[in-house]
Structure 1
Amino acid sequence: MTSLTARPRRPRPWLRATGVLLLLALAFTLGLLWPTLHRPALKLGQDAAYPDARATTRWSEQDGGVIDIRPVGTPATRLLVLYPGGLVRPQAYEWLGTALAPWGVQTVIVRFPLDLAVTGIGRADSVIRHYAQGRPVYLAGHSLGGAMAAQYLSSHPGTVQGLILMGAYPAGNVTLSGQKTLRVLDLMGEHDTVADPADVKDGLTRLPAGTRLVTVRGSVHAFFGRYGPQNGDGVPTVTRATAETQIVQNIRDFITRR
């Protein structure tokens, strides 16, 4: 009697091909998502210098993580809470807090999960409670951070003295036009093609009537933060230092105005 040994079944060719395609699709998806999921290290002080400015900077895990920038030799009489742009590390705005410190401004830059302000629109609540200490509070935001700052204020009227938008505008379903006591400074880069000037101007219809729109001459979207060039942005016609001087002067005058 002859015994028969069963042959191992070979994978069918279409199954192997499908497996390879799935692996390739997974690798491609991970490649696309990696810059978002893997955020660069948060390092303070590497790109925050500003002429004649003196400030102390520290990282705090308080309220989900913030960069706290305080004046040196000058009392901190005002608080600025800042929402970074989408996928921009918070230290990219450390320069601005350093520049404003000599005028008595304490700047608290909020860190968001995945560096997206949409993941924590209401973070200003706990930050203001912890840091305001009875002082006037201003809320600022760049790009997506500005849109989310406006959205926060749409449901929290009277929370702050002023809003500062940098290359940003309220979303189409958000309006602050009824908040007549809210002061707003709207900074627009002359050659910004990320936050298109036409969209920024259209956003004025959803802001209080007294909103001040200022064009930062020669500037682009990426000049509001120190994070390098940005895809889809325009071409600047001034140096970054020249643009930063305009930004600082306008924000300083807006915050310190009595």
Structure 2
Amino acid sequence: MNRWIRVAAVVCILLLVVGAGGAFYFATPYHGSAASVQQVTDDPRVTVTVEDGVHVLSPRNADSTVGVVFYPGARVAPDAYYATFAPIVARTNVTVFVPSMPLNLALADVDAADRVRTRHPGIQTWVVGGHSLGGVAACQYAGSHDVRGLVLFASYCNEDVREESFAVLSVTGSADTVLNRENYRNARTRLPAKTTFHEIEGMNHTQFGSYSGQRGDSPAPLSYDEAHHRLADVLVPWLTNHSTVVAVSGSSG
């Protein structure tokens, strides 16, 4: 009997260690580089604030009529997307909201967009999006809520939204070796027929944000700045065509 008690105690200890290790792993996300964060906070066109764990990038000298709630990838902190969206905010006057997620997993809080929308009743047009696993969460949210559009960065839907009325933009990078290409190809049939697909040549998985070190990703021939510039050149006209956004003339990333 004592032997089985000792075995049970060892098993319990191992489970606690594994659980603690897993919690520590997911609780230590990839952050945006210090330079990328500083570049955005110094940008005179963009204001960065944090509201109850939601990171907000808004145009400094204009009011937004369009909001984008963006779900971060697994183990990726919201500040990793500052440099991604700052040029888009400057060029379109949208406001972008990137919520912090429990254990840095967007699937743990799929309805995060609800709280953002409740706090900002003045914004009438809403788009949701996400990067990698965050895109899966955004798709789940879009499939059961009234949104104007869905944006997927290196991601795909795990449920069928073919009959939904919202517009969809799916962007991938040719140098991305994290995205499961087979799953991505199979999931294309779950999207509306008018989905816009775009692949950015030379862009890898982490360049949808401004972080590095993700296992499985490959070096990219593009710089982060160039990758974000090309991404903005895809997203800005799509937002202009599928929302009430009016692109700001003369602005570039």
How many equivalent residue pairs? 238
For the Cα contact (< 8 Å) 1:82–1:140, is it kept in 2? yes
Q: How far 1:114 sits from its partner (Å)?
A: 0.7
Q: How far 1:39 sits from its partner (Å)?
A: 3.6
Aligned to 2:63: 75
Aligned partner of 1:256 among 240, 248, 251: 240
Q: How far 1:58 sits from its partner (Å)?
A: 0.8
Aligned to 2:51: 60
Report sequence identity in percent: 29
**Structure 2: runs of 5 or more not aligned:** 243-253
Aligned to 1:164: 151
For the Cα contact (< 8 Å) 1:140–1:165, is it kept in 2? yes
RCO higher in structure (CA 8 A, sep ≥6): 2
For the Cα contact (< 8 Å) 2:130–2:153, is it kept in 1? yes
**Structure 1: runs of 5 or more not aligned:** 1-11
For the Cα contact (< 8 Å) 2:33–2:211, is it kept in 1? no
TM-score (norm 1): 0.80
Aligned to 1:126: 115
For the Cα contact (< 8 Å) 1:76–1:106, is it kept in 2? yes
Name the SS for the 1:257 alignment partner.
helix
- TM-aligned CA distance change 1:136 to 1:15, over 3 Å: closer
Aligned 1:204-215 pairs, distance under 5 A: 204-215=188-199
Aligned to 1:153: 142
**232-241 or 142-151, which deviates more:** 232-241
Aligned to 1:137: 126
TM-score (norm 2): 0.82
- TM-aligned CA distance change 1:56 to 1:152, over 3 Å: same
- TM-aligned CA distance change 1:28 to 1:240, over 3 Å: same
Q: In 1, distance between residues paired with 2:227 and 2:35?
A: 20
* Coordinate RMSD, CA, aligned: 2.9
For the Cα contact (< 8 Å) 1:79–1:132, is it kept in 2? no
1:111-131 deviation per Cα after TM superposition (whole angstroms, max 9, x unaligned): 111111111111112212322
Aligned partner of 1:89 among 77, 90, 104: 77
Q: How far 1:247 sits from its partner (Å)?
A: 1.0
Task: Choose 1 or 2 for highest CA Rg.
Answer: 1
Q: In 2, distance between residues paired with 1:56 and 1:73?
A: 9
Q: How far 1:220 sits from its partner (Å)?
A: 1.1
Aligned to 2:220: 236
- TM-aligned CA distance change 1:191 to 1:53, over 3 Å: farther
Aligned to 1:8: none
